[in-house]
Amino acid sequence: MSASHKHHAIDYIELPCTNPQDIKAFYSTVFGWTFEDWGPSYISFHGAGLDGGFTTEEPVATSGARVILYSHNLEATRSEVESAGGRVHKEIFTFPGGRRFHFLDPDGNHLAVWSE
């Protein structure tokens, strides 16, 4: 067992996609993630704080667990999301402990970004 894996912690996350090339371009442009192709239907990503992957073998849905990313500059990240082809789903709002916005990636996956 790798020392980098913590028992009962979220270890990996998997999201559906329909166009891996668009997904790679979006997440590398906005968040600086890197990718590794594992055949025609799966790509893994790195550099997100938690490793994960995108698969074309599952349907895309806007409901379910939501991945929330952190940003040091929420407004700049929001702008980058839109510039890279994402859509703001819920404008920046405050909550106890910070501020955040929700967005849909090019495939319609619903994520959020927060800041203190």
Q: Which of 1-5, 14-18, 32-36, 50-54 has the highest mean pLDDT?
A: 32-36
Instruction: Mention every residue, 6+ apart, whose C-beta is less than 8 A from residue 50.
Output: 10, 11, 12, 13
pLDDT score at 4: 65
The pLDDT score that the predictor gives to residue 91 is 97
What pTM, to 2 d.p., does this model score? 0.78
Rounded Cα gap, residues 49 and 19, in angstroms:
23
CATH superfamily of 13-115: 2,3-Dihydroxybiphenyl 1,2-Dioxygenase, domain 1 (3.10.180.10)
| 28-73 pLDDT, tens digit each | 999 999 999 999 999 999 999 998 999 998 888 877 778 889 999 9
* Greater pLDDT, 3 or 75: 75
User: Is residue 74 scored above 90 in pLDDT?
Assistant: yes
* Burial status of residue 9 (CB atoms within 10 A of its CB: 0-12, 13-18, 19 or more): exposed
pLDDT (0 to 100) of residue 5: 67
